[in-house]
């Protein structure tokens, strides 16, 4: 009987039938039986490595003519292939879901990021079990599998200590995981997971810590261990970096490498990049710069302050990119040391979408402000020029640089209609597989082609059934022929695109596209009807950069492609279109499943921590009450009772010198404080914060009243509040404030409460209503005293 009786089409491998025993004594047994062991991989199957950079853009890396030095990408390209017409989905989670399933993002429920999920079939954010991941397939065929870095595919309501965990990395085919689960992470103060267990680094930035280095350390350690213990098994390593997604966090020495190198501005940078791209052959020699995006100023239109700021943002971005690529070089060196590099199918994806224009016209010191429609004043930012990239900032660069980093194409991340949002460089390095050194490949490819290409190279068929579930068709095609044949025919002929209402269709050299929104206008101030969108038409066989709109000259061709878009969009669950961005990041406004449902009260115990925003009561835009049952020590109490968010937005209830204090942090711009004048006596107390919201819309103000044992201690007017989300990377914690501190009155890492937290309850609703339901707490405290 075959060692793999289902021909690798049913995963996991079915059990081999066990013959009936033929002897009473093992010494008399005639059949030896089949030893039970791991699934054997196909003979000669290569190792697989996917390195995925974030928010990079086609014209960013030196390997594709850009201004950011990426020595590892250059090295792998020199020893392998550069794919010049490779495409992604224009946003983070959708690209990752498509990459790991081989299906279009709407087909597997990921029409936006996980934080933007709704109840619509193409947008609910839950990978169907009928679309097994690449890791599940390789794991089921004898591979060791590991993921490091950014995940961003698990529904936010499932990121908690109770899961469920089937859509976490270790539930989707990875033997091990070390990284972060959401859209982004503070690279100085990250909150990470080892498998499904929350962990924090044991070092701080002042000790030399940086997240990218940490991720690569873990990847190197894992692959060395895997080669030591199971050298006969191939491995699959998925290394998804946070760079160069906001926040742009990197040490000053890396920024200094680029000091003064972007003073010429983004217009000139586009020209320099295009000239270099033509020299490298990654664009045709007659390629023109695509039109500049409306609403974005030219460099010469900026005053001196704005130019200095913009140049420093770009210096930080470039240093961030080079630092990350240098760390990838350490992983490549480890593979080389182990003798594993040549037979490793190494795919280096230089972006999951185009470079991000979400920094707006000016850029910002704190990214979340722009997500809520707030624009930093350059006259204020200039006073923090040398701090950009430091732990006290959470920066993202201006949109003008994103346009330059997507040279020679139009637009940016989110804009799935134009190549600036969807085309990124891909490097494939596989000497043992016949990849030529320094080759160029111009065939059309898409991120859904990665899975079938890897399976083809490994000699593994797409499974018919995984975990008893029949699999839906893989929608990508294998690009393996192109690895060994530069003249291989193009196999990917048609591809639709949609993101945030921006949409397009590619078919046999032509594209029809329509841009619906602007990436840096993430809060809708007025609705634009989809029927009012203007479609453009481009012949990419003659116009590689979408520089010349042919819609007026070829109306019949445009109509043909518009109809084809409708067919493809209907097939892949694109409808109904949804152009909301920040609004969808609030689960109530998005209409998605809410973990807490109709509950209006949650009680936490002392020591509970790492509650993400969608696993806690939503205190935004409503009245609420926070009630803490605490025991104070004999010495004046200090430290955090409960906190949500961090340095760049959130709230905290803490003690300082025995005095209770409440602080509401509005994006790091303003801190509204209610602080008791005198310390509380040692012993047990009921500490209570009543927040009465003004009402009338999101993000408005309210009154905060702090009491202890029923006695009013302090009050504060909170002039404005955060409407949609506090943070993507910080959490709610009881008895401590993990990550960055909400208030600078206490330090990161050393702010644990010195007393005892019995419980903290959050009630949603006016204080008068809450008072009727919680009278028992005060009686319990008084009884205990």
Per-residue pLDDT tens over the stretch 663-719: 999 999 999 999 999 999 999 999 999 999 999 999 999 999 999 999 999 999 999
Alpha-helical segments (H) within 79-208: 92-101, 134-139
Q: How many domains would you assign to the chain?
A: 3
In terms of domains, do 231 and 118 share one?
A: yes
For residues 582 and 474, membership in a common domain is answered with no
| CATH code for the domain of 719 | 2.60.120.200
**Domain encompassing residue 741:** 596-784
- This prediction's pTM: 0.96
Q: What is the CATH number of the domain that holds 418?
A: 3.40.720.10
Bridge partners of 542, per DSSP, are none
H-helix or E-strand spanning residue 155: none
Do residues 617 and 687 share a domain?
A: yes
Q: Tell me whether residue 313 is in a domain.
A: no
Q: Is residue 6 part of a domain?
A: no
Q: Check pLDDT > 50 for residue 467.
A: yes
Out of 555, 587, 619, a domain closes at 587
Inter-residue contact 238 to 139 (CB < 8 Å): no
In this predicted structure, the answer to whether residue 37 has a pLDDT above a threshold of 70 is yes
- Residues 130, 246 share a domain: yes
Is 696 found in the same domain as 549?
A: no
pLDDT of residue 575: 98
- Tell me, yes or no, whether 505 lies in a domain: no
pLDDT band for 32, please (50, 70, 90 cuts): low
Q: Are both 708 and 763 inside the same structural domain?
A: yes
Cis status, amide bond into 247, omega within 30 of 0 = yes
Residue 453 lies in a domain: yes
Listed residue (674, 676, 706) closest to 690, CA to CA: 706
Per-residue pLDDT at 2:
46
- Name residue 350's beta-bridge partners: 425
The residue among 778 and 502 whose pLDDT is bigger is 502
Whether 329 and 254 map to the same domain: the answer is yes
Write b or e for each residue in 80-112: b if 16 or more Cβ atoms lie within 10 A of its Cβ, otherwise e. Answer: bbbbbbbbbbbbbbbbbbbbbbbbbbbbbbbbb
CATH assignment of the domain containing 573: 3.30.1120
Confidence category of residue 756, pLDDT binned at 50, 70, 90: very high
- Exposure string of 559-595, with b = 16+ CB inside 10 Å and e = fewer, is ebbeebbeebbeebbbeebbbbbbbbbbbebbebbeb
User: Can you name the residues that pair with 47 across neighbouring β-strands?
Assistant: 344
The answer to whether residue 386 is domain-embedded is: no
- Are both 712 and 614 inside the same structural domain? yes
CA distance 101 to 108: 8
Same domain, 522 and 611: no
Specify the long-range contacts of residues 363-366, CB closer than 8 Å, at least 24 apart. Answer: 363/309, 363/310, 363/313, 363/395, 363/396, 363/397, 363/398, 364/395, 364/396, 365/393, 365/394, 365/395, 365/668, 366/393, 366/394, 366/395, 366/648, 366/649, 366/667, 366/668, 366/669
**Does residue 383 fall inside a structural domain?**
no
Residue 509 lies in a domain: no
Whether 502 has a pLDDT exceeding 50, the answer reads: yes
Same domain flag for 473 and 412? yes
Residue 779 has pLDDT above 80, yes or no: no
Is there a single domain that holds both residue 548 and residue 694? Answer: no
Sign of the alpha-carbon torsion through 667, 673, 674, 676: positive
The pLDDT tens digits of the residues spanning 504-530 come to 999 999 999 999 999 988 766 678 899
How confident is the model at residue 75, as a pLDDT? 98
Do 664 and 542 fall within a single domain?
Answer: no
Q: How far apart are CA 242 and CA 54, in angstroms?
A: 6
* Contact between 538 and 450 (Cβ < 8 Å): no
* Percent of the chain's residues with pLDDT above 70: 96
Q: Are 319 and 208 in contact (CB under 8 A)?
A: no
pLDDT at 778: 52
pLDDT at position 525 is 64
Radius of gyration of the chain (CA): 27
Residue 371 lies in a domain: no
> Rounded to an integer, what distance in angstroms lies between the CA atom of residue 270 and that of residue 406?
9
């Amino acid at each position: 009987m075959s060692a793999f009786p289902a021909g690798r089409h049913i995963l996991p491998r079915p059990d081999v039938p066990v013959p009936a025993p033929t002897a009473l004594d093992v010494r008399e047994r005639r059949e030896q039986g089949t030893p039970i062991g791991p699934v054997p991989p196909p003979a000669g199957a290569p190792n697989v490595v996917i390195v995925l950079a974030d928010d990079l853009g086609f014209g960013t890396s030196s390997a594709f003519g850009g201004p950011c030095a990426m020595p590892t990408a250059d090295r792998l390209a020199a020893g392998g292939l550069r794919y010049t017409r490779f495409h992604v989905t224009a946003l983070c989670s959708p690209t990752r879901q498509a990459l790991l399933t081989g299906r279009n993002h709407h087909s597997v429920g990921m029409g936006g990021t996980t934080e933007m999920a709704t109840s619509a079939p193409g947008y609910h954010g839950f990978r169907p079990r009928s679309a097994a991941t690449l890791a599940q397939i390789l794991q089921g065929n004898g591979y060791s599998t590991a993921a490091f870095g950014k995940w961003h595919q698990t529904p936010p309501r499932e990121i908690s200590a109770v899961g469920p965990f089937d859509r976490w990395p270790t539930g989707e085919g990875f033997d091990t995981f070390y990284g972060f689960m959401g859209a982004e992470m503070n690279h100085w103060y990250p909150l990470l997971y080892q498998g499904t267990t929350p962990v924090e680094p044991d070092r701080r930035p002042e000790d030399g810590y940086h997240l990218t280095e940490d991720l690569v350390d873990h990847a190197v350690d894992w692959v060395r261990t895997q080669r030591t213990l199971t050298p006969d098994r191939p491995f699959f390593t998925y290394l998804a970096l946070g760079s160069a997604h906001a926040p742009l966090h990197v040490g000053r020495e890396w920024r200094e490498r680029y000091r003064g190198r972007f003073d010429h501005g983004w217009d000139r940078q586009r020209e320099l990049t295009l000239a270099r791209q033509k020299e490298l052959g990654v664009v045709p020699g007659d390629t023109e710069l695509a039109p500049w995006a409306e609403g974005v100023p030219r460099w010469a239109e900026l005053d001196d302050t704005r130019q200095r700021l913009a140049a420093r943002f770009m210096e930080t971005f470039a240093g961030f990119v080079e630092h990350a690529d240098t760390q990838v070089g350490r992983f490549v060196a480890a593979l080389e040391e182990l003798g594993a590099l040549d037979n490793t199918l190494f795919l280096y994806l230089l972006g999951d979408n185009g470079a991000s224009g979400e920094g707006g016209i000016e850029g910002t010191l704190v990214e979340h402000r722009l997500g809520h429609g707030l624009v930093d004043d350059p006259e204020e930012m200039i006073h923090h020029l040398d701090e950009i990239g430091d732990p006290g900032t959470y920066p993202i660069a201006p949109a003008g640089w994103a346009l330059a980093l997507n040279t020679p194409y139009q637009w940016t991340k989110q804009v799935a209609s134009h190549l600036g949002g969807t085309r990124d460089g891909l490097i494939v390095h596989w000497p043992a597989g016949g990849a030529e050194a320094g080759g160029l490949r111009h065939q059309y490819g898409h991120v859904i082609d990665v899975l079938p290409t890897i399976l083809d190279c490994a000699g593994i068929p797409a499974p018919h059934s995984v975990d008893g579930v029949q699999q839906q068709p893989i929608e990508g095609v294998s690009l393996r022929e192109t690895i060994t044949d530069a003249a291989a025919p193009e196999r990917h002929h048609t591809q639709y695109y949609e993101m945030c209402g921006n949409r397009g269709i590619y078919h046999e050299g032509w594209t029809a596209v329509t841009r619906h929104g602007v990436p840096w206008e993430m809060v809708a101030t007025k609705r634009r009807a989809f029927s009012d969108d203007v479609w453009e038409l481009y012949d990419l066989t003659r116009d590689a950069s979408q520089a010349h709109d042919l819609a007026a000259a070829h109306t019949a061709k445009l109509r043909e492609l518009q109809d084809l878009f409708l067919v493809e969009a209907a097939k892949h669950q694109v409808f109904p279109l949804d152009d909301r961005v920040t609004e969808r990041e609030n689960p109530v406004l998005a209409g998605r499943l809410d973990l807490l449902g109709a509950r209006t009260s949650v009680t936490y115990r002392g020591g509970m921590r790492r509650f993400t925003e969608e696993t806690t009561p939503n205190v935004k835009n409503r009245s609420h009450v926070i009630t803490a049952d605490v025991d104070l020590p004999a010495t004046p109490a200090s430290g955090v009772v409960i906190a949500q968010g961090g340095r760049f937005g959130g709230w905290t209830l803490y003690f300082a010198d025995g005095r209770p204090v409440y602080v509401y942090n509005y994006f790091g711009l303003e801190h509204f404080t209610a602080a008791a004048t005198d310390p509380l006596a040692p012993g047990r107390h009921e500490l209570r914060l009543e927040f009465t919201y003004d009402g009338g819309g999101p993000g408005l103000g309210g009154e905060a009243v702090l009491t202890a044992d029923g006695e009013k201690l302090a009050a504060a007017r909170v002039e404005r509040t955060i409407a949609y989300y506090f943070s993507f990377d910080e959490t709610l914690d009881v008895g401590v404030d993990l990550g960055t501190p909400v208030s600078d009155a206490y330090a990161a890492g050393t702010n644990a409460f010195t007393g005892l937290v019995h419980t903290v309850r959050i009630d949603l609703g006016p204080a008068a209503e809450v008072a009727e339901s919680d009278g028992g707490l005060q009686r319990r405290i008084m009884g205990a005293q």
